[in-house]
Chains A and B, each alone.
Chain A
Amino acid sequence: MTTTSPTPGPRAPRFSRRALLPAAVAGVLVLSACGSSDPLAEDDQSAGSDDGAVTVGSADFPESQIIAELYAGVLRDAGVEATTEPGIGAREAYVSAVEDGSIDLVPDYTGNLLLYVDSESKAASADEIMAELPDALPEGLTVLEPSEAENKDAMVVTQDTADEYSLTSISDMASVCGELVIAGPPEFQERAYGLPGLESKYNCVPESFEPINDGGGSLTVDTLTRGDADVANIFTTTPAIEEQNLVVLEDPENNFIAQQVIPLAAEDRLPEGSEDALNELSSKLTTEDLIELNQAVSGDGAVSPQQAAQKWLEENGYDAA
C-alpha cells in the first residue's frame, strides 16, 4: 500500500476544491437520480384505533392543538375514549395521517381544506364552500358540521392608519395602495388570496411586501404597530387585534374565503355518539372563544393548549376529566 504519511497536529481541511463546480452539478444529479425506495420503515405512526378509542390529531400551530383538545374533551364527556396526537404538521401531513389510520379525527378549516382537495374551486362564502366540500373529499374522509367559529386571513391596519387614509374596507385601499407596505407570511406573495387576489379583486398593488414567517404572530403585529408596515396579513383570531386596537378591513369581494372550524374525520371510524358530541361542540364554539383561547396560550404566563381547552370545557358545562 502507499504510505501517505499522516498530517501531524490540528489541520484545517485540505480539500482540493478545484474540480468542485462540475462535481456540484453531478452531486445534485446523483441526489435526484438515486433511489426511489424508502430505506427506512415508517416508524412515526401511532396506533390507529379499531377498538373504540379515538385519536385526535392536530396541525402544528397552537389554535389547532387547542381545538383538538376540545374535541377530545367532548368525546370523553360523551363516554368515548379519546387521546390527542398534537403537532402533526401541515395539512398534507395530517390529512394523510387520517387516511392511513394514524389518527381518526383532526380539526380543520373549511376554505383551506376545500382548496387542498380541489385547487380549482371558486367557492368563497361559507355556504358555497360547504356545498362543495363533502363531495370533494377523497374516499374514506368525511367532515361533520362546521362551526360558526372562524379563523381566516385578513388585512389589518392600526387605528391611526385607518384614520389617516379613512379605511374601513379593502376597497378603500385601492387609491392609496401604491404608498402602502404590506407585511405577511411569505406565501402571501403568491397564493391566490394574497397579492394576486388584492390586485385582481381590489386593483391594489402595494409599494412593497415584507415577508415575516411567524404565522401572523407577535413579530407581524410589532411590524404593524411600529409602523414598519402599514397593512398586515393577520389571522382574525389573533388576540392582538383586540389588545392593540387594530382594525380588520372588510372584504366585500370575498378575497379571503370563509374558514369555519370543522372536524375532518375518517369515515366509519368514529364510535357511536361521537358525531353528535362534536356537532354540539361546533354549535357552541364561537370566534370570540378562539380569540380568548389563543390569548390564553400566548406570551408570559401562557398555559398549555390542553389547559386552555380544559378550562373552556369546564366553563361550558362539560365533564372532560
Chain B
Amino acid sequence: MNLLSGMWQWLTDPTNWTGTGAIPARMLEHVAYSGVVMLVAVLVAVPLGLLVGHTGRGAGVVIGVSGALRALPTLGLLTLFSLLMGLGLVPPLLALVILAVPPILTATYAGVAEVDPAVKDAAKAQGMTPGQVLGHVEVPLALPVAMGGIRNAALQVIATATVAAYINLGGLGRYLIDGLAVRDYSRMLGSVLLVAVLALAADAVLAALQRAVSSPGIRTSPTEK
C-alpha cells in the first residue's frame, strides 16, 4: 500500500502544482496535443467515412485499411517519424493522428451505411437531391454512431499520448517516461490517475456533445443508455 501513499504524496505535493513542468502545465499540454490530434483526425476521417458510406464505393478497402492501420504500433511510427523528420511536435502528433483515424473512419462509415434504405428512398421520393439526402438524412442519422467512434478515438489518443512522450513530447506522459528513467513509481502512478481523470472528463464532454447532436427523432436510440 505504500505505492498508493507515495502516489498520494506526489499528487498533493504543492511543489508539483506550480511552475513550468508542473501538473497544470502538463495537463494543459496534454489537452492541447490531444485536441489538435483529434481535430486533424476528424477532418480526415469524417468526410472520408461519409463519402464511402454514402456512395458505398470502396467500403471493403476502407474497412481493410482501417484494420491494418489499427495494428500499426504507435511506438514504431513515433521512432520512425522522429528518425526521418527529426525532433519537434510533428512526429509524435502524426503518429497519434494515425492512431485516431481508424475508429472514427469505421464508425462514420458504419453510421451512414447503416441508415435504413427505406428512409433514403422516402427522402428521394420527396424529391431530395443526393446532396440533400446526405445532408438532411444520412448525416443526422449517422452522427450518434460517428460520435461513438470519436469518443473511442479520444480515449485512445489521451492514453497513448503518454507513450508518445517516449522521445521528447510534453504532456502527462513526461511524468511517466521521466519517472520510469529514475524508477519513481509514485510519480508514474500519480500521472496515471491524472490521465484517467483527463480521459473521463474528455469522454463526459464528448458524451454530452453526442446527445446534443442526436436529432430528437432518434434520441431514444439504444446507443444511449
B-facing residues in A166-224 (Cβ within 8 Å): 185-187, 189-191, 208, 210-214, 218-219, 222-223
Say yes or no: is B152 at the interface (Cβ < 8 Å to chain A): yes
* A215-248 contacts to B (CB < 8 Å): 218-219, 222-223, 226, 228
B87 and A12 contacting across the interface, CB-CB below 8 Å: no
Are B83's CB and A210's CB within 8 A? no
Q: Which residues of B in the span 79-128 have a Cβ within 8 Å of any Cβ on A?
A: 82-83, 86-87, 107, 110-111, 114
Task: Spot the interface stretch: A13-21, A150-158, A268-276, A288-296.
Answer: A13-21
Contact in complex: B86, A186 (CB < 8 Å): no
Please judge, given known A-B contacts A9-B114, A187-B181, whether A29 and B82 are in contact too, CB under 8 Å.
no
Query: Contacts A13-B148, A212-B168 hold; do A32 and B110 have CB atoms under 8 A apart?
Result: no
What residue in chain A is nearest B184 (Cβ atoms)? A190
Complex alpha-carbon distance, A211 and B168, angstroms:
6
Complex interface: stretch among B31-39, B40-48, B190-198? B190-198
The answer to whether B222 and A12 have CB atoms under 8 Å apart is no
Query: A1: CB under 8 A from chain B?
Result: no
Contact assessment for A222 and B86 in the assembled complex, using a CB-CB cutoff below 8 Å? yes
Decide yes or no whether B171 CB sits under 8 A from chain A: no
Complex interface: stretch among B65-73, B130-138, B200-208: B200-208
Residue from A10, A11, A219 within 8 A of B167 (CB atoms): A219
Tally of A interface residues using CB under 8 Å: 35
B166 within 8 A of A: yes
Tell me if A45 counts as interface (CB < 8 A to partner B): no
Contact between A24 and B181, CB atoms less than 8 A apart: no
A residues near B (Cβ < 8 Å) are 7, 9-14, 16-17, 20-21, 24-25, 28-29, 32-33, 185-187, 189-191, 208, 210-214, 218-219, 222-223, 226, 228
Apart from A32-B3, A210-B168, A214-B167, what are 18 other A-B pairs with CB-CB below 8 Å?
A10-B111, A12-B145, A12-B152, A13-B148, A13-B152, A14-B148, A16-B225, A17-B200, A21-B200, A186-B178, A187-B178, A189-B178, A190-B178, A211-B178, A212-B87, A213-B167, A219-B83, A222-B87
7 intermolecular pairs with C-beta atoms under 8 Å apart? A7-B222, A13-B151, A14-B148, A29-B4, A32-B4, A186-B177, A190-B182
